[in-house]
Amino acid sequence: MFGIFSLPKILFTIVVIVAVWYGFKWLNRRQQVQRDRAKNGRLSEAGGGKNTAVEDMVQCPDCGAYVPEGGHHNCAGPD
Ligand SMILES: [Zn+2]
């Protein structure tokens, strides 16, 4: 009688443990995929994508400040 009652309990416990274990594995894999995707996105951006909002920066020969190439820049520093 006791064995018939405890066997489903044991099976249920095993199923819960396995489910939690797989849940953790799935979460870890998902985080790894997101990390890889972020890394790849940054790499493709650095590779010269067309949608990059960052312009090429050039150093002003007068004040030494880095300004967008082709942009209007006045050497309006203090002093
Ligand atoms: Zn300048």
Q: How far does the centroid of ligand 1 lie from the alpha carbon of residue 56, in Å?
A: 16
Q: Is residue 29 part of a domain?
A: yes
What's the whole-model pTM score?
Answer: 0.40
Q: Is residue 43 part of a domain?
A: yes
Q: Is residue 73 part of a domain?
A: no
3-state secondary structure of 18: helix
Q: Is residue 66 part of a domain?
A: no
Q: What is the mean pLDDT of residues 18-33?
A: 96
Q: Is residue 16 part of a domain?
A: yes
Q: How far does the centroid of ligand 1 lie from the alpha carbon of residue 55, in Å?
A: 17
Q: How far does the centroid of ligand 1 lie from the alpha carbon of residue 5, in Å?
A: 83
Structural domain including 33 reads 2-52
Q: Is residue 34 part of a domain?
A: yes
pLDDT in tens, 35-78: 988 888 776 655 555 555 667 888 988 888 888 887 788 887 55
Question: Can you point out the beta strands (E) in 1-79?
Answer: 57-59, 66-68
Q: Yes or no: say if 46 and 56 are a contact pair by the CB < 8 Å rule.
A: no
Q: Yes or no: say if 75 and 60 are a contact pair by the CB < 8 Å rule.
A: yes
Residue with tokens 């997101």: 34
Query: Total domain count for the chain?
Result: 1
3-state secondary structure of 64: coil
Q: Is residue 64 part of a domain?
A: no
Residue 51 vs residue 34, higher pLDDT: 34
Q: Is residue 13 part of a domain?
A: yes
Extract long-range pairs of 50-56: CB within 8 Å, 24+ residues apart.
none
